[in-house]
Structure 1
Amino acid sequence: MEPSGKLVLVFMLIAATFGRCHASTICNVPLTGLYACMPAARSPYPPPPTVACCNALLHADYGCLCSYRDSWIIRSGVVNFNLALQVPGKCGLPFVGHC
């Protein structure tokens, strides 16, 4: 498992976990950006991440995001773990945290 993929996995977890709360950001990532990343982590044929998704990941607090990696969203199958791992690389972003 690539470290960069762990980042996106966490983004997807946070988006699903906190999507109904009133916060506008989670771990320095706008909720709209997290939602923009979700299609890129769903089976069976995900589209490439959007510009909105990639831009949302630019200022993320990776330590904070990593704390969500064992969320129910992965266990429930809402987000495909392996696909989520690929999103940062598809955005050309390095992973700067350690999950």
Structure 2
Amino acid sequence: MAASRLMVVLAAAVVVAVALAGGSEAITLCKMSDDQLTACKPAVTKPDPAEPTPECCAALSAADLGCLCSYKNSAVLPALGIDPGLAMGLPAKCGLTPPADC
């Protein structure tokens, strides 16, 4: 149990480190670029989330929703300042159908 929790924390730390490192390569997560993720961030950040923008919804419509769903119970989203509950509700706000198992 402690080992699996450590692995989750380490995975989150790696993702955050890569995100903060920047570098010459853009970050892509579940077929969403860094700019596309940034467009959606106000809609998935508490305490006062904004409605998703058309740019966010367009990016989300091309994203791998199953992949995004895999982060639902991960420490990665909170580490990036993203509320998992708001993130999982974003497809519906954009008129998209989330994966059945999400």
With the shorter chain as reference, the TM-score category is: 0.5 to 0.7
Scaled by the length of structure 1, what TM-score is found?
Answer: 0.63
Q: Percent identity?
A: 38
Q: Mind listing any 5+ residue stretches in structure 1 that lack a counterpart? A: 1-12
- AA of the residue aligned to 2:19: G
Q: Mind listing any 5+ residue stretches in structure 2 that lack a counterpart? A: 1-11
Determine if contact 1:73/1:79 at 8 Å carries over to the other structure.
yes
Scaled by the length of structure 2, what TM-score is found?
Answer: 0.62
Alignment RMSD: 2.7
Whole-Å separation in 2 of the counterparts to 1:77 and 1:31: 12
Residue by residue over 1:13-59, the C-alpha shift from the partner in whole angstroms, topping out at 9 and shown as x without a partner, is 9xx74534423532222221111111111112211001111000112
Higher relative contact order (CA 8 A, sep 6+): 1
Determine if contact 1:29/1:57 at 8 Å carries over to the other structure.
yes
In structure 2, the partner of 1:45 is 48
Moved over 4 A (4+): none
Query: Bigger radius of gyration, 1 or 2?
Result: 2
Whole-Å separation in 1 of the counterparts to 2:90 and 2:31: 18
